[in-house]
Chain A
Amino acid sequence: MSEETERAELLAALHAAGAASEDDERELEALLEADPSLEQLVKDFEDSIAALASSFEPLETSPRTLGKIKKQIAQEKGGVLARLRAWFSKP
């Protein structure tokens, strides 16, 4: 493995684990631009850690939560429509 590939692997790991600094992120971005094949490595790391995060015992949610979510979405939908209506009704 070349030194550059090793560096890219470390940066991809830090990125996926959420531990990368801003400098690390910029460096990784530059490496990805230079070699797009590295994207698969980043995606593999991201999928792995997402799987870890999804592996906890699932918890029963409150039956009211979905209702609250729908209510909020309906309000936001109404808000968007109201803004669109107001915009179209401008003289």
Chain B
Amino acid sequence: MIAAAQSQDPAGIVAAMAAGDSGSALNAFYAQYASMVLALLMKMLGSRAEAEEILQEVFVELWKRAPQYDPARGNVVAWVITVARCRALDAIRARSRRYGNRQSEYSEGDALVTEGGRPDVLVSSTRWHQALRQAFQRLSAEQRAVLELSYFQGMSHGQIADTLGLPVGTVKSRILAGMRSMRTLLPVIHRAMRA
């Protein structure tokens, strides 16, 4: 059942969930995206237990929001990632309120390490992930650092400037340069998605 549903178009699976299918459609959706979302949550939260807890919240929310998904506004992966990132940032902010702000503890080693080989892993590494990782290695360390803090830690450009001790203008320029580089990688990304 799950294998059959996996071959469906992702937007079709979301449409089935929107129609109330919490059986085979949800199974297929979970099979396709859960391990990717868990990896993102682990990256952002650093705790397996917390990541598993948030993973549950993310999929319940995605199921509830399926009727609002609009393919014209972005692909399913982008939608899933957006919801997962928002929930992870909520958890990071809640943790900051409870235990104080750990954002100033940023070090270069935290930046977007996308290589494999972590001990707590892993579902098989697909061509998709390999192609993406190779593509993103083309970003400079400086670009990765600002994108790490903005996208994965939820910092504004002002907070990043404070954390890295850089002028706000430099932070903005690095973000723009990083995003421009990534945009040029879109054809590679699209090829990887089709692979």
Residues of A bordering B, CB below 8 Å: 9-10, 12-14, 16-21, 43-62, 65-66, 68-70, 72-74, 76-77
Known contacts: A17-B151, A73-B60. The answer to whether A53 contacts B129 by CB under 8 A is: no
CA distance A34 to B185 in the complex (A): 28
What are 15 of the A-B contact pairs (CB < 8 Å)? Answer: A10-B176, A13-B178, A44-B183, A49-B182, A50-B78, A51-B132, A51-B193, A52-B147, A52-B182, A57-B114, A57-B116, A60-B121, A66-B26, A69-B60, A77-B22
Cβ–Cβ contact A69 & B56, under 8 A: yes
Whether A53 pairs with B40 at a CB distance below 8 angstroms is yes
Residues of chain B touching chain A, judged by Cβ–Cβ distance below 8 Å, are 20, 22, 26-27, 30, 34-36, 38-40, 42-43, 52, 55-56, 59-60, 63-64, 73-75, 77-78, 81-82, 84-85, 112, 114, 116, 118, 120-123, 125-126, 129, 132-133, 136, 146-147, 150-152, 154-158, 160, 171-172, 175-176, 178-180, 182-183, 185-186, 189, 193
Contact for B147 among A49, A54, A58, A72, CB less than 8 A? A49
Q: Which residues in B have their C-beta under 8 angstroms from that of A48? A: 179, 182-183, 185-186, 189
Please state if A59 and B120 are interface contacts (CB–CB under 8 Å). yes
Q: How far is the CA of A16 from the CA of B175 in the complex (A)?
A: 10
Identify the closest chain A residue to B159 (Cβ): A19
Alpha-carbon separation in the docked complex, A11 to B156 (Å): 13
Asked if A58 meets B157 with Cβ closer than 8 Å, knowing A50-B78, A76-B64, the reply is no
A14 touches B175 (CB 8 A): yes
Query: Which listed residue (B116, B154, B158) contacts A21, Cβ 8 A?
Result: B158
Q: Are B26 and A70 in contact (CB under 8 A)?
A: yes
Structural contact, A56 and B39, CB atoms closer than 8 A: yes
| Candidate in A14, A17, A45, A57 with the most chain B CB atoms within 10 angstroms | A57
Contact A17 B175 (CB under 8 A): yes
Where chain B touches its partner, the secondary structure class is: helix
Contacts of B74 in A (CB 8 A): 43, 46-47, 50
In the complex, what distance in Å separates the CA atom of A44 from the CA atom of B34? 24
B116: chain A residues at CB < 8 Å are: 57
CA distance in complex: A64, B35 (Å):
14
- Tell me, rounded to whole Å, the shortest Cβ–Cβ distance linking A82 to chain B: 16
CB pair B147 A17 closer than 8 Å? yes
